[in-house]
């Protein structure tokens, strides 16, 4: 009798089961993300052929800041970057916490103004008060809250501590009681630069646009969004 020939198929290490190290993995459908699933012929356990988690992308933080500053909302950013909204929200807040406030120059000229928005519903009005350094056009500081002296004072005290040479505001009466007459000025074109910045804010940040279905659900997210826009560029 002649010798019987037997054919053997070599199995690469990439096809071996990583659970039992005994069986061979075969194709077993796809995941919701479209990745190939594999199942072991021996232990019947499954695995994903190529596992990819977009939240580990080293450029993700920069992409989140860029998309947020260009007006995309949370769900839109999550959809574009293919990550969950839960992951994005936690990453969003961590990025904002890591952004330091810029150093404030002394004896500068500032413009201060308020911009109105709301949190959750239009009845819950919130005011954004911020100071713009006239020469550099940088945002020195900002505060978010009700239109009260407490909210205004967060910004104005910072300017007074920096020994501001001049502070231009509108004719809101609270400013007169919080700023000394020697540096406080109310003129016709005194707040031109910051008024233009208000327009840019409403154009770039979707949650501040008047005719939009996008809005802030919490003060924490509103603060984080403003911090990114003002100080991450």
Query: What band does 5 get if pLDDT is binned at 50, 70 and 90?
Result: very low
Q: Is 164:183 a contact under the CB 8 Å cutoff?
A: yes
Name the least confident of 10-14, 69-73, 102-106, 172-176. 10-14
C-alpha separations of 75 from 55, 71, 86 in Å: 15, 12, 10
pLDDT given for residue 42 in this prediction: 82
**CB contact set of 28 (below 8 Å; sequence gap of 6+):** 37, 38, 39, 46
Instruction: Record the pTM.
Output: 0.75
Say if residues 155 and 129 touch (Cβ distance below 8 Å).
yes
pLDDT of residue 156: 96
| Residue-wise pLDDT tens digits, 66-102 | 999 998 989 999 999 988 999 999 999 999 999 999 9
Instruction: Give the pLDDT band (50/70/90) at residue 155.
Output: very high
Least confident of 46-50, 84-88, 101-105, 145-149: 46-50
Angstrom distance (rounded) from CA 11 to CA 91: 42
Q: Is the pLDDT of residue 7 over 70?
A: no
pLDDT score at 4: 46
pLDDT digits (tens, 9 = 90+) for 97-143: 999 999 998 999 999 999 999 998 888 999 999 999 999 999 999 99
- Residue that has been written with the tokens 């290490």 in this structure: 13
pLDDT at 11 over 70: no
**pLDDT for res 15:** 75
């Amino acid at each position: 009798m002649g010798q019987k020939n037997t054919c053997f198929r070599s199995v690469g290490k990439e096809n071996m089961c990583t659970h039992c190290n005994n069986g061979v993995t075969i194709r077993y459908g796809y995941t919701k993300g479209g990745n190939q699933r594999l199942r072991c012929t021996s232990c019947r356990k499954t695995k994903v052929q190529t596992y990819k988690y977009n939240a580990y992308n080293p450029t993700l933080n920069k992409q989140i800041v860029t998309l947020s500053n260009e007006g995309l909302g949370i769900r839109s950013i999550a959809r574009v970057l293919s990550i969950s909204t839960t992951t994005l929200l936690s990453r969003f807040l961590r990025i904002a916490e890591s952004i330091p406030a810029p150093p404030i120059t002394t004896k500068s000229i500032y413009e201060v103004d308020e911009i109105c928005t709301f949190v959750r519903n239009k009845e819950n009005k919130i005011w954004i008060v911020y100071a713009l350094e006239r020469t550099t056009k940088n945002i020195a500081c900002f505060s978010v809250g009700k239109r009260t002296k407490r909210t205004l004072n967060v910004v104005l005290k910072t300017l007074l501590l920096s020994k501001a040479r001049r502070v231009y505001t509108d004719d809101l009466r609270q400013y007169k009681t919080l700023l000394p007459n020697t540096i406080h000025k109310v003129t016709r074109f005194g707040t031109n630069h910051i008024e233009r910045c208000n327009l840019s804010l409403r154009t770039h940040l979707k949650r501040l646009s008047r005719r939009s279905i996008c809005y802030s659900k919490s003060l924490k997210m509103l603060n984080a969004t403003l911090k990114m826009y003002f100080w991450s560029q």
